[in-house]
Structure 1
Amino acid sequence: LLLEANIYLTIEKYDSAALNFNSLVVNNDVFEKESLTARAYMGLARLYLKTEDYDESIKNGVSALEIAEANNFSKEEFEANEILGQAYEKREKYNLSLVHNRNLLKLKDSIFTIEKIKAEAKTADRIQFEFMSEEIKRQDTKIEELNESRNRSEITAILTSAFLTIISLLAVSLFRNNQIKLKTNDLLQTKNRELQTARDAAVQAMEAKTNFLSTVSHELRTPLYAVTGLAHLLLEENPSDDQKEHLKSLKFSGDYLLNFINDILQINKIDADKLEALNMEFNLKKVLADVISSLHQSAKENKTKLILEYDEEIPKHLMSDPLKLSQIFMNLVGNAIKFTKNGEVIVIAKLLKKVEEEVTIYFEVKDNGIGISTEQQQNIFDSFEQGSIQINREYGGTGLGLTIVKSLLGLFDSKIQLKSTLGQGSSFFFELDLKSKDSLVDDIAFEITQIDYDLNGLHVLVVEDNKINQVITKKMLDKRGVSCEIAGNGNTAVEMANASQYDGILMDIHMPGISGVEATIEIRKFDSDTPIIALTAISLDDSLESFYAAGCNDVVTKPFKPEVFYQKIGENILEHKLKKSVS
């Protein structure tokens, strides 16, 4: 965020820079909170100095200076005095400008004195070394002159002749090489220009495709939220059997379309280098068990057994990105189930080696389904590729699953491999290098059950600009006894949050006017306690880190599953209310 803010400031995108700096002013970083806050105030001071808002520049400069002096941040203290000196001078407060310029001079003098002493010592050492070197050279020269004086004239004649011969040959060679070099350079420059033009055209085409797909997938989420939300609500209103069948088909189609959009967005993020692996502590066995549990129904419909073969020697506490590992196995296992009927899918996790905290684990997902021919294996990991048109028509799907797996494993410096025989099944396998945390002790149960929260009596603020989404969200809350008030934009949300007390706030991110992130930053200035859950149709440019940095407690992506929606409200809003009432 700080790097983005400084870049925005450099290219004069002051609104974006101010948004990032303000996000960092109220940061919760464990290790560098004061440093980030000081730098954020400093950035705001520079920004307002550039935009000639000198009072705001002085206010932020003073805040930065106070933090820098309290924490002995010498660099920030130097910069703060420099900015304040300039700002006070612009405001014609010359006495205050003089104070900060004197402080600046003291800091420069202290630095200069230290550097001067170092320079003098270094110069003295250099002079002494040069004197000794010159003396040694003089002595060597005298010795050589004495040894060579007897036959100097003879050697001089021979050397002169050889020297002239060599010079002549060199001159001819250099002339020829220079002619060849000039021709080669002309050819290379022409080719470079052609390659540069082709590369620029390819980059522009890729960016246009990425932006188009990102925009389309993001825009589709709003009507899709209405489709899936209304289907869910209608299914809960005791429809007739005929209606229930149609509604289930509608919900299935909505879920299918959502998965397709998510796959496209995932590929776009990978292509645009917007994705990177996190590093956090997790339990691998629980991740694999959760994946198998979530796909159990799909396996049951295909009459396929799901089997987990887990090596208990694998450390219980590992460091990596559990979410992306879940995505990898969801795609691999889901793919295996789709192409396996009346068979079995086996998920294998085996410890290969462990050296101190360095762990290498072998993973394999194998099935006895339809298999993949040798020809199809060559391009099975390409986007939108499913082997053949017949397979696509019979089994469905986007053909992006294996592409996503390959790209995600690339983030871990790993590579997916495939063995398959047509008609006998397939095996996808890879290895991962992880870190273990042997010092951690299990103090909680392995299985964490989902809690069916009683949300009755909660009162929340829903911030949503889309009228249909307002109706759907309100009805979903009414179903669980949650009362709500609606704010149609970010400015209204800030005013209502300031005027009334709510158990929690459900904040849409993408709104006209001020965004949900900006509204959250404003609310956190006067209310740091009320839980805020971001509701967003995440696009290519969205960053979950920016939501949390602004002050959100959790994020739910739209269109969301009702059970996830209620679970997040229970975890963040209800539990916060219960803890608050106990204390």
Structure 2
Amino acid sequence: MRIKLSHSKIRILLGVLLLFIFLKSAKGQQIDSLQNDIQSYFDRALQYQNKNEITLALEALDKAAELAQQKEDIKAWIDSYHKMALLYLKVDNEKSSVFFSDRAKGMLEEVAYPYGDAMQKYLEAIRLFNEGKNYLAIFSLEEARQLNNDRNFFNNILLTEGNIYLKLEKFEDASKNFNSLVINTDLKEKDYLATRAHLGLAKLHYTTENFEQSAIDGEKALKLAVANGFQNEMLEANHQLSQTYERLRKYDQALGSTRNLMLIQDSIFTVEKAKIDAKTADKIQIENMGDEIKRQDERIEDLSESANRSEITAILTSAFLTIISLLAVSLYRNNQIKLKTNDLLQTKNNELQAARDAAVSAMEAKTNFLSTVSHELRTPLYAVTGLTHLLLEENPNDSQKEHLKALKFSGDYLLNFINDILQINKIDAKKLEPLNIEFNLKKVLKEVIDSLQQSAKANKTKIILEYDEEIPGHLMSDPLKLSQVFMNLVGNALKFTKNGEVKVIARLLKKEEEDVTLYFEVADNGIGISKEQQENIFEGFEQGSVQINREYGGTGLGLTIVKSLLGLFDSKIRLESELGEGSSFFFELKLKSKDSVIDDIPFEITERDYNFKGLHLMIVEDNKINQVITKKMLTKKEITSDIASNGTEAIELAKNNEYDAILMDIHMPGISGEEATIEIRKFDKTTPIIALTAISLDDSLESFYAAGCNDVVTKPFKPEVFYQKIGENIFDKKVTNTA
């Protein structure tokens, strides 16, 4: 049966449809607006808090909590309560801080939110510190650090940790933390963190009776505090300077600091302001308590509706108890049998526990052994690869050139092997965690493909990128580890494919607000993998067969690394392959997108040729052979250099000379490269410092940057990478500073 609609009815239906679309769009815009407002209130509260404007900070956070509740954004709601708890701790209101912290804790039981869990641990650490339980506080801070790697959160942990170390008189550790914050690049609290760091250093030097340095840091803290309106920090700085100048017998300056202290106290701590702050704090807490009571009343009302069912429940309960009493004797007998069984199980559990402990100890021993061996091999390998490079550039005859190329190939192979072992070792030891930074996926994939084009040409194979342009241009994840995944997958495909093609596929599966699900695939038409070999292909040192290993080479660790790295992202690698037909490796990843960021920088980055002539560098290296090799590599580019054999010499040379850059070895006897960098940064904050290190299992790139290094090059390195890093950190930095 056909239904006829008049023109008027059609117009009405179209009107309703358009209204529905408009309302849905308006709702989406309203939610986005609320989210932006929440963040703006958080940012405003942080500014007010650092300026000791407690009333304004509390009002901003209360507004943020109200908007989060309105939007039903439980994570933002948790964040607002955590920030209130921190603010109440700042004004020594422990009771109110615990109230908001407990409310956030209750909400965290309903949602998976690592940042919220980290903040809970951070609040716990501050309370433990306030109670004098310093070691427990450090333990809680470490737990918080493991749960989240947000830059601002990490810097605040460093600051709190530094204050705890100062209290424990661990001055070296405290100094390291404070110095790393003096030159911090925090996007939210750069000046505030630097001010607190200078105050920490001023107190540290005062305690260790280095009064001159204490005065320097105190004045720097005061200057930053005055420039930014940090009232509490102005107070602390003047108080510290007053004490310090008195110990230096500079009584006029001590008197000036005391007068400033009294003036600031009078302006900040007025009775009227204290009343307003207290009134606002009490009002906000009472309102929140009222909301909580209201929610509990609603819950009780819901429960009361089931009261009529209680009589039936009582009758059923009576019958049930009768049955239970009849079964009691039987259960008692069964319980006696269970007790005997439990004793036997306990014995077996103890045996299993002992066996597990032995296995864990063996695994730790293996991990430490492999880490030590792989690290120690890098130093002689640096000599092998470096000397080979130098000899190849000295116009050897044809027969020598063949031998040198073979030596270079062997050195590169051994280096890749060592890197693979160290990578697996770090993952097994749980010392590798994914970052969460902004990146462009298409740029990452193109860079991987470009770096492997030489291998593709050697096998007469094409690499094809099929990229879904619907994928957001700005994603949040760990681009370095994703590059390693694709380097291994594409490199593996090229190794087993000749006169063919390798496809790299990236597709958008789903996008809901900022949550993005992507599909990746690396497919080839190479030799393929049999069904039997597929079962073990992701295990370490597996390549299918001995014949394949001999013909194609390699360690068989590439796919193991891929599997382990994807495990860090809660993803699994899958495989489809037919012998003689080719192979396809595919997986899915869940990421966050940053749609609001405008991509105004093209991602095609061209390599630059730098003119190094006339540069003067310092080489900090304790190994004599490495000194000679590095100096010769610099001389090839007409770069002059001085050599420091240890950290102490490096500090003295940096004080008495000007260098265009410093090449800093990290592992040295006596003062390490990190410690030397921290000392140099006290009087020289501009000279680029590039860490040259054979990274071991316990090394952290984060700690190198925190110490003041501008970049890191791992030894042994490729010469082109070495020169590129020098050029980037000297010339590109100058261009940036000029601009």
Give a deviation string over 1:507-536, Cα, whole Å, max 9, x none: 111111111100000000011111111111
TM normalised by structure 1 equals 0.78
Where do residues 123-202 of structure 1 align in structure 2 (5 Å cutoff)?
A: 172=329, 175-176=332-333, 179-180=336-337, 182-202=339-359
* Structure 1 SS opposite 2:365: helix
Structure 1 position 344 matched with structure 2 position 501: yes
Alpha-carbon distance, 1:382 to partner: 0.8
Separation (CA, whole Å) in 2 of partners of 1:65 and 1:165: 76
**Residue 45 of structure 1 contacts residue 56 of structure 1 at CA under 8 Å; is this kept in 2?**
no
* Structure 1 SS opposite 2:380: helix
Separation (CA, whole Å) in 2 of partners of 1:407 and 1:441: 33
The residue number in structure 2 matching 1:529 is: 686
Letter in 2 for 1:216: V
Structure 1 position 213 matched with structure 2 position 370: yes
Separation (CA, whole Å) in 2 of partners of 1:174 and 1:114: 61
Letter in 2 for 1:365: V
Alpha-carbon distance, 1:187 to partner: 3.1
Separation (CA, whole Å) in 2 of partners of 1:338 and 1:494: 47
Residue 333 to residue 16, structure 1, CA distance change in 2 (3 Å): same
Where do residues 317-356 of structure 1 align in structure 2 (5 Å cutoff)?
A: 317-356=474-513
Alpha-carbon distance, 1:419 to partner: 0.2
Separation (CA, whole Å) in 1 of partners of 2:379 and 2:324: 79
Paired residue total: 537
The residue number in structure 2 matching 1:254 is: 411
Where do residues 449-528 of structure 1 align in structure 2 (5 Å cutoff)?
A: 449-528=606-685
Residue 378 to residue 77, structure 1, CA distance change in 2 (3 Å): farther
Separation (CA, whole Å) in 1 of partners of 2:480 and 2:500: 28
Greater Cα shift, 325-334 or 308-317:
308-317
* Structure 1 SS opposite 2:712: strand
Separation (CA, whole Å) in 1 of partners of 2:214 and 2:328: 68
* Structure 1 SS opposite 2:642: strand
Residue 311 to residue 170, structure 1, CA distance change in 2 (3 Å): closer
Structure 1 position 234 matched with structure 2 position 391: yes
The residue number in structure 1 matching 2:58 is: none
Greater Cα shift, 485-494 or 307-316:
307-316
Residue 184 to residue 477, structure 1, CA distance change in 2 (3 Å): same
Greater Cα shift, 436-445 or 66-75:
66-75
Alpha-carbon distance, 1:212 to partner: 0.7
The residue number in structure 2 matching 1:436 is: 593
Give a deviation string over 1:94-116, Cα, whole Å, max 9, x none: xxxxx9xxx9xx9xxx99x989x
Where do residues 74-93 of structure 1 align in structure 2 (5 Å cutoff)?
A: none
**Aligned counterpart for 2:705 among listed residues 529, 545, 548:** 548
Structure 1 position 287 matched with structure 2 position 451: no
* Structure 1 SS opposite 2:507: strand
* Structure 2 SS opposite 1:435: strand
Separation (CA, whole Å) in 2 of partners of 1:344 and 1:198: 49
**Residue 39 of structure 1 contacts residue 64 of structure 1 at CA under 8 Å; is this kept in 2?**
no
Where do residues 411-430 of structure 1 align in structure 2 (5 Å cutoff)?
A: 411-430=568-587
Structure 1 position 446 matched with structure 2 position 597: no
Higher relative contact order at CA 8 Å, sep ≥6: structure 1 or structure 2?
1
* Structure 2 SS opposite 1:31: coil
Separation (CA, whole Å) in 2 of partners of 1:166 and 1:558: 76
Alpha-carbon distance, 1:284 to partner: 1.6
Separation (CA, whole Å) in 1 of partners of 2:356 and 2:679: 44
Structure 1 position 384 matched with structure 2 position 541: yes
The residue number in structure 2 matching 1:563 is: 720
Residue 293 to residue 57, structure 1, CA distance change in 2 (3 Å): closer
Letter in 2 for 1:472: I
The residue number in structure 2 matching 1:296 is: 453
Residue 541 to residue 167, structure 1, CA distance change in 2 (3 Å): closer
**Residue 576 of structure 2 contacts residue 584 of structure 2 at CA under 8 Å; is this kept in 1?**
yes
Where do residues 26-175 of structure 1 align in structure 2 (5 Å cutoff)?
A: 26-33=183-190, 172=329, 175=332
Residue 401 to residue 56, structure 1, CA distance change in 2 (3 Å): farther
Separation (CA, whole Å) in 2 of partners of 1:329 and 1:474: 35
Residue 523 to residue 188, structure 1, CA distance change in 2 (3 Å): same
**Residue 358 of structure 1 contacts residue 433 of structure 1 at CA under 8 Å; is this kept in 2?**
yes
Separation (CA, whole Å) in 1 of partners of 2:564 and 2:647: 37
**Residue 466 of structure 2 contacts residue 504 of structure 2 at CA under 8 Å; is this kept in 1?**
yes
Structure with greater helix percent? 2
* Structure 1 SS opposite 2:405: helix
Letter in 2 for 1:528: K
Residue 262 to residue 52, structure 1, CA distance change in 2 (3 Å): same
**Aligned counterpart for 1:224 among listed residues 353, 360, 381:** 381
Structure 1 position 371 matched with structure 2 position 532: no
Residue 65 to residue 400, structure 1, CA distance change in 2 (3 Å): same
Largest Rg, 1 or 2: 1
Greater Cα shift, 57-66 or 219-228:
57-66
Separation (CA, whole Å) in 2 of partners of 1:195 and 1:61: 57
Separation (CA, whole Å) in 2 of partners of 1:201 and 1:17: 37
Separation (CA, whole Å) in 1 of partners of 2:597 and 2:204: 45
Give a deviation string over 1:164-221, Cα, whole Å, max 9, x none: 9999868756754653454344334323322321222121111111111111111111
Give a deviation string over 1:217-250, Cα, whole Å, max 9, x none: 1111111111111111111111111111111111
RMSD: 4.6
Residue 319 to residue 229, structure 1, CA distance change in 2 (3 Å): same
Separation (CA, whole Å) in 2 of partners of 1:559 and 1:446: 28
Where do residues 298-317 of structure 1 align in structure 2 (5 Å cutoff)?
A: 298-317=455-474
Percentage of identical aligned residues:
73
Separation (CA, whole Å) in 1 of partners of 2:173 and 2:355: 33
Residue 441 to residue 391, structure 1, CA distance change in 2 (3 Å): same
* Structure 2 SS opposite 1:201: helix
**Residue 201 of structure 2 contacts residue 214 of structure 2 at CA under 8 Å; is this kept in 1?**
no
* Structure 2 SS opposite 1:468: helix
Where do residues 390-409 of structure 1 align in structure 2 (5 Å cutoff)?
A: 390-409=547-566
Residue 443 to residue 569, structure 1, CA distance change in 2 (3 Å): same
**Residue 317 of structure 1 contacts residue 436 of structure 1 at CA under 8 Å; is this kept in 2?**
yes
Residue 58 to residue 178, structure 1, CA distance change in 2 (3 Å): farther
Letter in 1 for 2:415: L
**Residue 38 of structure 1 contacts residue 76 of structure 1 at CA under 8 Å; is this kept in 2?**
yes
Residue 36 to residue 272, structure 1, CA distance change in 2 (3 Å): farther
Structure 1 position 263 matched with structure 2 position 420: yes
Alpha-carbon distance, 1:324 to partner: 1.1
Alpha-carbon distance, 1:446 to partner: 3.4
Separation (CA, whole Å) in 1 of partners of 2:433 and 2:690: 24
Separation (CA, whole Å) in 1 of partners of 2:333 and 2:540: 52
Alpha-carbon distance, 1:575 to partner: 3.3
Separation (CA, whole Å) in 2 of partners of 1:76 and 1:416: 52
* Structure 1 SS opposite 2:529: coil
Separation (CA, whole Å) in 2 of partners of 1:347 and 1:165: 69
Separation (CA, whole Å) in 2 of partners of 1:297 and 1:399: 21
* Structure 1 SS opposite 2:683: coil
Letter in 1 for 2:569: F
Letter in 2 for 1:450: E
Separation (CA, whole Å) in 2 of partners of 1:346 and 1:173: 68
**Residue 496 of structure 2 contacts residue 527 of structure 2 at CA under 8 Å; is this kept in 1?**
yes
Letter in 2 for 1:195: L
